Amino acid sequence: MRFPLALLISLALGTSAAFAAPPSLSGPGVTFPFFSPNNDGVQDITRYFFTLASDTALVTVVVHVDASGAPGAVIDTLLSSGFVAVGPDTVEWNGKTTAGTNVGEGRYWITATAENVDGTSTAAPDIPVILDTTVPRDTLAQPPKLFSQTLIHEVAGAASDANGLEHLVVTLFAKGMTLADTVCAPCAPVSSPFDLFVPDSVAATDTLRITTDARDPAGNGRARTVFVVVDSIPPPPPVLDPIASPIDRDSVAVLGTASEAESVFVTFDGVSRGRERVLSGFRFDVRIRRFPEGTHTVVAQSADKAGNLSPLSAPVTFVYQEELGVVLPERFMAGQYLQVNLSKPANAVLLRIYDLTGRLVKRLEDRSTKSVYEFAWDLSDQTGNPVGSGPYVVAVEADYVDGSRLAKRLAMVVTR
């Protein structure tokens, strides 16, 4: 209890016997040795309490930073030479400095001294408090995925916090039944593992709800819930869109629908092309490039989130027949090819690329003997500088093995 000034003056004018005994601060402590000033309504402040015995006194309560396990510099004053009556009293600290700025996480110290009007003083024991706003972390190791092909008979994982945990409760719910296990309360170690056996009564279900409720001593933490779906039914086989034949480019888009699937595996001529994610509407689009002339076969297989594989799709075949002559993309971009398909073998093919002013931009040459030539152009000129978008002229010269020659000029548009 704090005294009014008039009463304090009358006390000060009393007999010297009133000040014979020094003030005494007994039973100091805090309501929350760990607190989290994060405005969540849970342990946002800590209250320092004490009992003043023997006589009325001027009491000062301050907060210090930690200096190697002992009080260091003062950062806040909770009570400055306040007159306090004999009996219990409290002050609050909200985790801020005297200037009103938030302090960081860590250990702090609250100290109190009491001074009588005759100058006699005493100090209370130093009280440590831990400011902690970090929420505990939890991980689920078993089941390893949120979709499982087999019945779940074990739920395992761990929850952790640098200051230990106030409690850790894991709850399982399925088929209208609840199974709760208080793993520890309190949990002293930094990391607290849990491992629950799931009985058949809740394991054989379509969905298992797992709730992990981990709270640290400062009041941080909220229950986290995950749903694990048990699914052992494979999805239906994907359906491939027809591919019109013949195609005249060594690039084809394989399109289709994979119902109830997360991904699809496409096999081209018996060789897997890897996994592709299924898009909205369960549609997929796989690009296959650079394959020889002839008939090709594509087959697909779906996979759902639990890892179940569908039967194989019906195969789709198409024919690739190379177009004779010079094959240029409508709009040439980096990574594409300039292709020359000849009706008979040549000893060499030369490409010269000009801009519209007639300036030679790039020279590409292949001196091998064959009938199909591909030229990659990185959109740089002869000096290595990048060229701009726009129209260009491509001059093609081929020296056939039989001694005849081919000369042709075509227009091409570059798009960057």
CATH number at residue 402: 2.60.40.4070
Domains: count for the chain: 4
Domain identity same for 152 and 108: no
Mean pLDDT, to the nearest integer, of 95-100? Answer: 96
Domain identity same for 211 and 278: no
Domain boundary among 70, 101, 131: 131
Q: What tens digit of pLDDT does each residue of 311-341 get?
A: 999 999 999 877 778 888 878 998 888 999 8
Domain identity same for 27 and 116: yes
Domain identity same for 49 and 65: yes
Beta bridge partners of 288: 252
Domain identity same for 355 and 306: no
> What CATH number corresponds to the domain at position 142?
2.60.40.10
CA atoms within 13 A on the CB side of 42: 12
Domain boundary among 90, 110, 131: 131
Domain identity same for 222 and 258: no
Statement: residue 15 has pLDDT above 80: no
Q: Which two tokens stand for residue 415?
A: 């798009």
Domain identity same for 175 and 220: yes
* Phi (first) and psi of residue 8, to 5 degrees: -65, -40
Statement: residue 7 has pLDDT above 60: no
Specify the pLDDT at position 1.
54
**Considering the chain, what is the average pLDDT of its residues?**
91
Mean pLDDT, to the nearest integer, of 119-133? Answer: 94
Range of the domain at 311: 239-320
Mean pLDDT, to the nearest integer, of 41-56? Answer: 93
Specify the pLDDT at position 179.
92
Q: How far is it, in rounded angstroms, from Cα 398 to Cα 340?
A: 9
In 10 A of CB 99, how many CB atoms? 7
Amino acid found at 125? P
Domain identity same for 307 and 339: no
Domain identity same for 70 and 106: yes
Mean pLDDT, to the nearest integer, of 80-84? Answer: 94
pTM above 0.85? Answer: no
Domain boundary among 320, 341, 370: 320
* Phi (first) and psi of residue 404, to 5 degrees: -80, 170
